[in-house]
Each structure stands twice: as structure tokens, then as C-alpha cells.
Structure 1
Amino acid sequence: MNSQSFPRTTAPTTAGPQLRLLRRQARLSQLELALITGISQRHLSCIETGRARPGPGTLHNLLMALEVPLEQCNSLFLASGYAPRYETTPLSSPAMDAVRDAITHVLHANNPAPAIVLGSHWEVLAANASTQVLFDLLGLPTDATQGLNLLTTLLQPGGLGDHLINPEQIRSIAWQRATREALDNPLLAELLQNLDAPPSCSAVSNELPPLVLTRIRSPHGELNFMSTFTTFGMPLDITVTSLRIEHLIPADPKTWQTMTAAYARSLLEQPPG
């Protein structure tokens, strides 16, 4: 068989059919999407069939309404004959000053509860003081969050995963979430290839709690945390879309007391100035 490429019939290659597919995946009718975006259903139909080319503003509104990932949005702009619209700005760039300030504020406000900033590959980009306090309680190395990957430390021996009371649950949830994200993230997929998949967590209690807690074994006894995430609500930059802050909120009075006391001690131990 020669190497000649054959036409693809399963995936649209022009902007109109791609938009139609995305709309159907979002379970929206043409009328519903037209009402959301403020364009006429007739014009939307012409766009989807290729009889009309959407302007940049119209295309942007359609893609935002369909909640299309920004990387894919750039492909749609190219398919429509426009330059890619959405940048991947380094977090250290001056243009990201407001973003970094917001992250710093959220991290500081979360003390004495741990909070970490994660990138698109689960790399830890920043952490608050209480994260290091928790690591100190567990006997993990000083500055253990520097260069840390949360997925790696949960799944590989010698990391945070070794201190979990419910490692099967947490590792299974982390693996499943990362595997879903890796479908559109080649670098994360490569990371997963170098990690061992955890055993499937099949045990399910008859009475399920409201959410899965991160249960940690420490010298002070069991510490229980609820995991929540903060993301930026209206990102127009690919870097910003990938950022998320994980908050480990103490789930019981004992955990609150332990973290509050340890955080207060860490403040007293800091050198003056």
C-alpha cells in the first residue's frame, strides 16, 4: 500500500462543519446557540454550511458560548482564514502582573490551610506557607514544593502519597483526572507513560459521604482535608486557562487546630525583617 493520504470523512476540516460538530457536542440547537450569541439562526446556518464566513468577533462569541478550549479556538480561527487569536503568555511576563498578584492574594488568604498553584502538567508553580508547614509536619524535605509535580508525588514512592490513609481513593481519582486531561495534552500524556497506574479502587461504601476527603497520617494523628479548586473565570490566554489553585481545607476541628498552631509556630520561627 502506498503512503497516499485518503480523505477523512469522520472529522470536519473546515470551520463551518467543525462549529456544527461542536454545537451538537454541546447539545445545543441552532436556535439556542443563536439566542445565546445574539446572531440570527439563518446566519448561523450559513456559517455551519460554509456559505458564510464568520467575522472574528462572531467566531469568538460562538467559541466562547460553546466553551471551546483556547488551543482548539486557535485552530478554528486558522480554518476561517484568520491568524491565531489566543496567546500563551509566560506567567513571569509583565502582562501577567495582575494574574500573579491575584494568585499571591488567594494563596496568602488561604493560610493556615494549604494551597498550591498547578500548571497544565500538574507541576507546582507556587504554594503558600501552610503547604510547607504541612510538609514539615509529615517530615518531608524543606522546600519540598520547589520543582514538585503533584501527580508524581502522589503516585511514586517516597512522596506525599505514602502519607495518605486512603491512597487507593486519592491515587485513582488523580490518575483518572490526569488521564482525561492528557487526551488534549501531549506533555501530560508523556508524564503518565512514565508513571505506574494505581490499582483500580473498587471498594464503595453503602453510605457515601458528600465528598472524598484527603486523609493524611501525621505525628499529630489523622488530618482530614477537603479539596477545592479556584480557576480564572473568563480567561483569554492559554496559560491562564491551565492555571488552577488547589485548596486543602481542613475538614474537622482537630485538623483546623493542628494547622493553625503549626502555622503560628512557623511565623514565630521566621527571622525578623
Structure 2
Amino acid sequence: MTIVPTGSPGRPPTPSDRGAGPLLRAWREQRRVSQLELALRAGSSARHISFVETGRSRPSEEMVLRLAEHLEVPVRERNALLLAAGYAPHYPETPLDDPSMDALREGVERLIEGYEPYPALVMNAMYDVMAANRGITMLLDGVPGSLLVPPLNAMRLTLHPEGLAPRIRNLRAWRGHLLEQMERQIALRRSAPLRALYEEVAAYPLPSGTTDDEPGEGPGAEARAYFALPMRIEHEGRVLSFISSVSTFNTPMDVTVAELAIETFLPADPATVKYLHALMF
């Protein structure tokens, strides 16, 4: 369950020869915000925003950060905007094994351990698994060693035809949910490595004989209406049902922390609760 540091998952922040203006305009257009609306949010004027975007005016460091905040620019890309504007990066990127991260690591590990027997894991922006509890380890029973070589990747483990995919009873629906989630992250972060990962896992063939079942089908399943799309996965002849929830840190001041996410799997029916408690306790 130890958190495993990995390399940087996003693009390295590099300055732009044209300054921060084109980058800010691209983020504004992606967020579908007009110059006037952005100016009102940031306490500026549409004229000044236009001058910044065209390079006629150099924004202050405070203005770059303010505009980035109102455009919901990811922390890593805020550093890139600052560099393009001629300023030093504002947000550090501290490795998870740095002593200053001890409290974070220990707190996160206690959190996911306390969630047992239900599955929980910690991922970075590339869906690399940084830490996982025994509930996740249980679900990975039978996955070939070639997919378990660090850094583990949650999307590869789930969607690879030799990973969890053959055991997920509603694979088409769950796969569609995961790919849509990745598409949203790509739109938010504009990360080339994340796009490459998406193209890789989206191209995985579906396991032979894949047919989505309905709740209530299969050994050990119960007929019931779910309040959210569950992942329905076989384990030792039973069908377990989980609802996924993802949590991130509020107001992160470090790139590494900003890109961490904690995913927990809540049992979606009493049979899954009973089985997991009997299995682990």
C-alpha cells in the first residue's frame, strides 16, 4: 500500500515565444468565455484582456494568476502561463517521496486503509496507481504479471483484454464511462501523454463473447435498481457491484497534490457488503 512516486504526467511548462497572450486566449476559448465575461470576473476590462491576448500589453504576475483562476486552468498549466509571461513558476512540483510530503502520504494511506474491506486507490493525472488497499488487491487476483509491473495504470488494468475487462459483466457500459471520463480530463488538461493513453486503451479489443448483462443476472447477483452506474465484476464465482467516487484536494498549492485523485468503490448492494466483510475479516 506504499505510495509509489512516478514521473511527471503532464507536459513540461515551457515558455512561449509569443508570450502568455495566445495561451490565455486558447484557455478562454476552450472554456467558452467572452473577453467581457472574463474581464468582469477578474475585475478588469475587455479592452485590457484583448491587449493581453494580442500581446499589446504584458499582464502582471498577479493578473496571470487571477485570469488562470477564473478560467479554471490546471495548476501545472498555470506555471506554463507564468513562464510564457516571463515570470517564475508559482507552484512547486514536489516528489511524493520528499520528506515534506510525509504527512500527505501517511494521511492518504491511512484513509484508504480505513476504507477496507472496500476497494480504494490513489492515482495521478495519468491514472498511474500511487497506492491501493487490500480491496483493490483482491480485485486484481488473476491479472497477469505483465500488467502489474510498476507503475500500475488503472485504465490499462481495467480495460486491457487480459486485465479486469473479461470479468466486468457490464463492460460496454463501464468502458464507455471510463473513456468519457478520460475525454473530460483531456479537455481540461490538454495533455498529450493523456491523449496517447486514451488512444491506447480505446483501441483495446473487447474480450471475446462480451455482452453486457443486466442487474440480477449471473451467479450471486441480486435484482435491484442502482442509483448510479455500477461496475459489476466477477470474483470467485460471484458478481460484486460497486459505485465509484473520485475525490481531489481543494485549493492545491503544489502540482503533485493538484494531480492526485482518490477513487473509492462503494458496495452497491447488500450481497457485496456481506461478501467483502466475510472475505477480509
d(CA) in 2 for partners of 1:41 and 1:182?
A: 28
Spell out the pairing of 1:30-41 with structure 2 (5 A cutoff): 30-40=35-45
Which 5+ residue runs of structure 2 have no aligned equivalent?
1-15, 215-224
Shift of 1:165: 0.9
d(CA) in 1 for partners of 2:56 and 2:241?
A: 58
Rg bigger for which structure? Answer: 1
d(CA) in 2 for partners of 1:119 and 1:20?
A: 27
Partner of 1:224, secondary structure, is: strand
d(CA) in 2 for partners of 1:198 and 1:74?
A: 38
Report sequence identity in percent.
Answer: 37
d(CA) in 1 for partners of 2:106 and 2:98?
A: 12
Partner of 1:77, secondary structure, is: helix
Are 2:260 and 1:243 equivalent residues in the alignment?
A: yes
Shift of 1:255: 0.8
Pick from 69, 81, 93: which aligns with 1:88?
93
TM-score normalised by L of structure 1: 0.74
Partner of 2:250: 233
CA deviation vs aligned residue, 1:141-170 (integer Å, no higher than 9, x gap): 89x977332222223243222221112222
Q: Which runs of 4+ in 1 moved over 6 A?
A: none
Are 2:280 and 1:263 equivalent residues in the alignment?
A: yes
d(CA) in 1 for partners of 2:205 and 2:259?
A: 25
Partner of 2:174: 170
Partner of 1:103: 108
Pick from 128, 134, 137: which aligns with 1:132?
137
Partner of 1:161: 165
Partner of 2:55: 50
d(CA) in 2 for partners of 1:191 and 1:20?
A: 27
Shift of 1:259: 1.4
Pick from 171, 188, 191: which aligns with 1:185?
191
Shift of 1:236: 3.0
Shift of 1:64: 1.5
Number of corresponding residues: 248
Are 2:215 and 1:215 equivalent residues in the alignment?
A: no
Partner of 1:254: 271
d(CA) in 2 for partners of 1:189 and 1:55?
A: 32
Moved more, 46-55 or 246-255: 46-55
Alpha-carbon distance change, 121 to 28 in structure 1, aligned in 2, over 3 angstroms: closer
Alpha-carbon distance change, 23 to 178 in structure 1, aligned in 2, over 3 angstroms: closer
Shift of 1:226: 0.4
TM-score normalised by L of structure 2: 0.72
Kept in 1: contact 2:160–2:204 (CA 8 A): no
Kept in 2: contact 1:168–1:198 (CA 8 A): no
d(CA) in 2 for partners of 1:71 and 1:117?
A: 19
Partner of 1:61: 66
Shift of 1:220: 5.5
d(CA) in 2 for partners of 1:146 and 1:247?
A: 22
